Amino acid sequence: MRHALVTAGSKGLGRKVTDMLLEKGYSVTISYRNDKKAVEKLKADWAGAEERLQCINADITKPADIKQLVQKAKEQFGRIDLLINNAGPYIFEPKKLMDYEPEEWHEMIEGNLSSMFYLLKETVPIMREQHYGRVIAYGFQGAGQAPAWPYRSAYAAAKSGLSSLVKTTAVEEAENGITINMVCPGVITSEYKEAGIEDARPVKDNSIPVGRPSTGGDIARTILFLCEEDSDMITGTVMEVTGGVDVLHKRR
């Protein structure tokens, strides 16, 4: 049985990935930080699959928590085939770089970039032994080209750096049967983060060129495709799933 580790997998986009993985027969370890209600709901919804689901309280900005998370996943299921790093802090208040406090800057960099370093340090040796692994990071539209994103400088810097990290480690680990890719969602509103594509089909949304809302199902479906065994030729790729919407330039 393939095993997946999904950070922040109890709600939002991460929850939809967890659901799809369980539906496909994977065992899954998820991390969560504060929302115990979301974890209890996840467990209740998958009450018939308790043996395939493990929920670990962990803060991915803390290397010690990451180490413990990976160890528990390996101890419980014996392997780690997929690493889906869905977690990552975000500051919702738009502000210029000069208005950031140092602690806000560090939270963005540590939570979105350094955390991936620590996760790779813990999971890649396991994947090398298996000669198999699939790693997915999250980015934003255009992250692969390190564009300007006014009022989101810290987040954009972290994710653009993460894009380079993904591309570099993908080359370094290709010989070990490991692929490493980045998926970049577009605009997904709260009510659609845990929704499926079928939920959005009947809804008209003129703000997105394809004409319907983007959903967590769109992102999860893309991730599962990249994690297939036969997707081994796709590595070091930054894949945008935006429906054609222009996220970056709305404020210009």
Please give, one letter per residue, the 3-state secondary structure of the chain: CCEEEEECCCCHHHHHHHHHHHHCCCEEEEEECCCHHHHHHHHHHCHHHHHHEEEEECCCCCHHHHHHHHHHHHHHHCCCCEEEECCCCCCCCCCCHHHCCHHHHHHHHHHHHHHHHHHHHHHHHHHHHHCCEEEEEECCCCHHHCCCCCCCHHHHHHHHHHHHHHHHHHHHHHHHCEEEEEEEECCCCHHHCCCCHHHHCCCCCCCCCCCCCCCHHHHHHHHHHHCCHHHCCCCCCEEEECCCCCCCCCCC
Averaged pLDDT score across all residues of the chain: 96
Domain span including residue 124: 3-241
249 in any annotated domain? no
**For residue 251, is pLDDT > 70?**
no
Whether 247 maps to a domain, the answer reads no
Residue 192 in domain: yes
Domain count within the chain: 1
250 lies in some domain: no
Distance of CA 192 to the CA centre of its chain: 16
Average pLDDT of the segment spanning 17-21 = 98
Question: Tens digits of per-residue pLDDT, 1-13?
Answer: 999 999 999 999 9
Q: Which two tokens stand for residue 246?
A: 């222009």
Q: What is the mean pLDDT of residues 192-217?
A: 96
Range in 15-19, 145-149, 170-174 the model is least confident about: 145-149
Please give the pLDDT value at position 74. 98
pLDDT of residue 248: 79
Residue 251 domain-assigned (yes or no): no
Entry pTM: 0.96
Statement: residue 18 has pLDDT above 70: yes
Question: Does the residue 197 lie in any domain?
Answer: yes
State the Cα–Cα distance between residues 158 and 181, nearest whole angstrom: 16
Q: Tell me, what's the pLDDT at 246? A: 85
CA distance 39 to 107: 24
Q: Are 87 and 115 in contact (CB under 8 A)?
A: yes
pLDDT score of 247: 80
Tell me how crowded residue 224 is: count the other CB atoms within 10 A of its CB: 21
**Per-residue pLDDT at 250:** 63
Q: Determine the pLDDT at residue 75.
A: 98
We report the CATH number of the domain holding residue 89 as: 3.40.50.720
Higher local confidence (pLDDT), 252 or 191: 191
Inside any domain, residue 11:
yes
With a cut of 80, say whether residue 249 has pLDDT above it: no
Using CB atoms within 10 Å of the CB of residue 152, give its burial: 0 to 12 exposed, 13 to 18 middle, 19+ buried: buried
151 domain-assigned: yes
Residue-wise pLDDT tens digits, 182-198 = 999 999 999 999 999 99
